[in-house]
Structure 1
Amino acid sequence: MTVQEPVETPITEIELEVRDRNCFFVRLSAETDCLIRLEELIHRADGDLLQYFSVRETPPEDVLDMAASESAIAEARLVRNGPDGNLFQFVVSGPCVTATLADTGAITRDVSAAGGVGRVVATVPAHVAVRTVVETFRTRHPDSEFLAKRERDQSPPVRTKSGVHTILADRLTEKQYEVLRTAYLSGYFAWPRESAAQECADALGIAQPTFSQHLRAAQSKVFTALFDAAVDDT
């Protein structure tokens, strides 16, 4: 009996260029001449978006000053300084490119900007029309251009970078993953600690005990996967 290998269905990837100064990340790159890139995107239960952006070549205070005047950004704070740039945490409650893509059913893969020109890459599920995604995007962000459409092999989600990460992500619930990732990005595990449990919970829009409960469960699953694998390899 011949066993057929599962056939991987290609996914559609689209790329857009954005010059719309109403987009905060585009305007920031234009006015401060910085390099900005989305590192993580989390959809909160209240409908707001939790975004982590790395920003290079501009003082942190300039970023925070501009964020304070941005109506779409409910909260902004500097998480950490680093040699490769500064990491900022934004709670976004208004229109933005990632919200536009989510509304159409597309999945954000990459967002970056330099010199007032933004680049957005997204994947479009088979049941969603690419034309609808592009037309909606260009309607909401007028100064934008559709650059490319390409077919890609199925691959792990953007949040995973190796098979090990994929396995761990599969073991965690979505909320456990979000809590663990937020804690990591916010410097909760750093020494000295860069963010308290309450600050991480506030960023996610949940209660601190709920954050701690999900974090403890996520850590238990990660350690179990790590050390069970180590025992199996001996």
Structure 2
Amino acid sequence: MARATDTSNRSPNGTGNGGVLEVEFRFEPSAYPFVRASAVADCTFELAELVPRSDGRYAEFFNVTGADPDRIEALATEHEGTDVTLVETYRDGGLFEFLVSDDCPARRLAELGALPRRVRGAGGRGSIVAEIPADADAAAIVETFLAETPEATLASKRTKPSMTPLLSEATLHRRLEARLTDRQREVLQTAFEAGYYDWPRECTGTEVAAELDISSATFSEHIHAAERALIATLFEER
């Protein structure tokens, strides 16, 4: 994969026809902590949010799945310049806040003017997908980042008409998971798979309740609570 950017068919700002340029970078297995930890712990790191702090550091919130939270905290403390806090525990992992001061590719992209949208490390493979606004010099940002980050390789690029919403799919999934109880999730999933939400409906609430071996009143209580949690999450984030 080439490390140089293709400047053909571009506008002066490097984003083609004036749209948003989406670029994907890939990293060597041991290049950065989140990639290295994903290999050592055989887990998946996915960035939920990147927030600048007043002291010049960045807070990176990662959803980590497939690993014991204690193991992740122990691995993070081995990397100088990184402070880690377990924010929330999930069934299969947790949400962590990593305060980083240096040696962070997502932070450097943000400083250059690109907006990291998906930062992922899984099984030792790392990638960052970032968006560069139409009014930025995309070619200069990509070239500078590659020159400063020899571990990175430009994997792909494409022009998009607009920016991606700030809320990531992973963050939405985790917030929904945190809102729903196990029973609410079971009821909601059973109803969905049975065709309760199809139009016309393939089954009634009474039939779903019978499949779950609960009363119709209990089914109604759980399904409405689950629907309210989904709707609340949607409108609160918007």
CA deviation vs aligned residue, 1:107-126 (integer Å, no higher than 9, x gap): 11110011211110111123
Aligned residue number for residue 8 of structure 2: none
Q: What's the CA shift for 1:61?
A: 1.6
Q: Which moved more, 1:82-91 or 1:39-48?
A: 82-91
Q: What's the CA shift for 1:128?
A: 2.8
What TM-score results when the alignment is normalised by the length of structure 2? 0.59
In 1, are the aligned partners of 2:66 and 2:92 still within 8 Å (CA)? no
1:19 aligns with 2:49: no
Q: What's the CA shift for 1:59?
A: 1.5
Equivalent residue for 2:75, pick from 62, 66, 82 = 66
Residue 115 to residue 141, structure 1, CA distance change in 2 (3 Å): farther
Equivalent residue for 1:41, pick from 40, 50, 55 = 50
Alignment of 1:105-116 (within 5 A): 105-116=113-124
- Write the letter of the residue equivalent to 2:142: V
1:85 aligns with 2:85: no
- The count of corresponding residues between Structure 1 and Structure 2 is 160
Q: What's the CA shift for 1:76?
A: 0.8
- Write the letter of the residue equivalent to 2:44: L
Gaps of 5+ in 1: 1-7, 162-183, 190-225, 227-234
Residue 60 to residue 16, structure 1, CA distance change in 2 (3 Å): same
CA deviation vs aligned residue, 1:112-163 (integer Å, no higher than 9, x gap): 01121111011112333333222332233322211111111214532388xx
Residue 158 to residue 84, structure 1, CA distance change in 2 (3 Å): farther
Alignment of 1:38-187 (within 5 A): 38-73=47-82, 75-155=83-163, 157-159=165-167
**Structure 1 segments of 4+ aligned residues over 4 angstroms from their partners:** none
What TM-score results when the alignment is normalised by the length of structure 1? 0.60
Q: What's the CA shift for 1:79?
A: 1.5
Aligned residue number for residue 204 of structure 1: none
Secondary structure at the residue paired with 1:86?
strand
RMSD of Structure 2 on Structure 1 (CA): 2.8
Q: Distance in 2 between matches of 1:28 and 1:132?
A: 31
Q: Which moved more, 1:60-69 or 1:148-157?
A: 148-157
Amino-acid identity (%): 32
Residue 31 to residue 148, structure 1, CA distance change in 2 (3 Å): same
Residue 22 to residue 155, structure 1, CA distance change in 2 (3 Å): closer
Gaps of 5+ in 2: 1-16, 170-174, 180-234
In 2, are the aligned partners of 1:18 and 1:141 still within 8 Å (CA)? no
CA deviation vs aligned residue, 1:186-219 (integer Å, no higher than 9, x gap): x9x9xxxxxxxxxxxxxxxxxxxxxxxxxxxxxx
Q: Distance in 1 between matches of 2:68 and 2:57?
A: 26
Secondary structure at the residue paired with 1:81?
strand
Over alpha carbons, which structure has the higher Rg?
Answer: 2
